[in-house]
Amino acid sequence: MMFGFALTRRPGWRSLRVWALLLGMAATALMIASCASDAPTSTSLPSPERRGLRVDAPQYALHGPFWVGHDRMNAGEGDSLLEMDVWYPALNLNSTVEEVTYDFSLQDMFLGFGDWPADFRPVVLGHALKDAEPDGSEAPYPLVVFSHGFGLNPVWYNTILEHFASHGFVVLAPQHSDPNWEEAWKAAIDRPRDIGRTLDFAEEIAAPSGEMAGLIDLDRVAVVGHSFGGYTALAIGGAHFDLEAFERHYAELVEAEDPSAWILMPFAGKASDLAARADMESVPEGLWPSFRDHRVDVIVPISSDAFLFDEEGLAGITIPLMTMGGTADTGAPYEWGTKPSFDHSSSTSKVLAGFEGAEHMFIGTPCENMPWIEESTLAEMFCFDPVWEKDRALDLVHHLSTSFLLHVLEGDEDAREALLSAGGAFDGIKFETTLE
């Protein structure tokens, strides 16, 4: 036990004794480490360069005070296996450059992306230290659970997830096993369950005998999600299904021959199937029971799908909420998800940031982080925005979301002031808030 928390050693992580010597916060630790009395003090520890993606990055878009570590863990096994990427504040005694190559399989993703060779393994280039030893100097850290877009994976969002870790958050990002879009209604039930399992896993690894013992503060938890991950955040935050309103909306789109109707089509007429998958004996009348998990304190849905909830269903959200999205989004229209989530949630602490003209993937990793995709037709869809310069959009997403989370979860008044000053400060951002 050192500095009030313990961390079970796992393969690839160095002994905690080194940083115990460096921090020197307990006399007992100093006695144990007396043979290394010449070790540098905590004030002389190397720190990362505070920079953003662009030179004009605002305050909370700058790299935070912590180095970023990355690991990949598994919850469960066999058919119940839930793989997740983990980012966390890390030690970097030698100021090693934060570089990591994230791998994943296109074949595991629902879109398929064409006829790729079976042995083709694409990568995402990131900025983290693989399997680095955690920095426990300011533990325990708030937890961010991230839910990726439908059929995608966590590492396509590495920039924002690395950024959260650099500002003192532990990030757990499960790999959802999404079906084909024609059966997307199944994910509407499965994904909130994945978040619940992720929180269970966080409790397991944060326990005294766990792999990240003492590092995670389970009393300060956020769920952040993009696209269908935004739906997932809304659902876990307390929104209720309103399928009667949904069916009316879908019928109107079909009658008007609206091309956006395809987004709703997999859920139309699926009330009985949804109820059965949620282990309900019958289809509820009116608003459905929510999937609210009371371990979650705040949600940040981005470019969210909210069409299953409607106005009354969104009113079930009472916890702090920040919602962001592109006003020209064709994958999750702004007026269907981002704007109504702000307008109709019952939260007294909420923020809306509309990126004028932005499309659906404005928060995804830039194309240069996926060299294999740059020459394909996928680049325009997944790592490029037709209006926003990508690094500028990401800097603003990082600034707004990080300052919001620091304010809500840590009571950081400087972050609150930075957030309040965002109204009118950034060209191209529609900003509203109930914060004072």
Residue 141 reports pLDDT greater than 90: yes
Cα–Cα distance for residue pair 63/51, rounded to 1 Å: 5
Residue 117 pLDDT class (50, 70, 90 cuts): low
The pLDDT tens digits of the residues spanning 146-181 come to 999 999 999 999 999 999 999 999 999 999 999 999
Residue 41 pLDDT class (50, 70, 90 cuts): very low
Out of 117-121, 234-238, 275-279, 354-358, pick the least confident.
117-121
What local confidence, expressed as pLDDT, does residue 105 receive?
A: 73
Prior bond of 11 cis (ω within 30°):
no
Residue 3 reports pLDDT greater than 70: no
Cα–Cα distance for residue pair 363/160, rounded to 1 Å: 8
Cα–Cα distance for residue pair 40/127, rounded to 1 Å: 26
Q: Which residues pair with 322 in a beta bridge?
A: 351
One-character DSSP codes across 20-70: HHHH---HHHHHHTGGGTTSPPGGGS-------SSTT--GGGS--SSEEEE
The CA-based dihedral angle spanning residues 159, 436, 351, 247, taken in that order and rounded to the nearest 10 degrees: 160
141's tokens = 């850290």
Q: Which domains does the chain have, with CATH numbers?
A: 1-45 (no CATH), 46-433 (3.40.50.1820)
User: Does the model's pTM come out above 0.85?
Assistant: yes
Cα–Cα distance for residue pair 47/55, rounded to 1 Å: 19
What local confidence, expressed as pLDDT, does residue 115 receive?
A: 59
- Check residues 35 and 293 and name the one with the higher pLDDT: 293
Residue 300 pLDDT class (50, 70, 90 cuts): very high
The pLDDT tens digits of the residues spanning 95-110 come to 999 999 999 876 555 4
Q: How many CB atoms lie within 10 A of CB 74?
A: 11
Q: Which long-range contacts (CB under 8 A, 24 or more apart) does 282-290 make?
A: 283/243, 284/241, 286/242, 286/244, 287/240, 287/241, 287/242, 287/312, 287/313, 287/316, 288/240, 288/241, 288/242, 288/243, 288/313, 289/240, 290/235, 290/238, 290/239, 290/240, 290/316
What local confidence, expressed as pLDDT, does residue 379 receive?
A: 81
What local confidence, expressed as pLDDT, does residue 345 receive?
A: 98
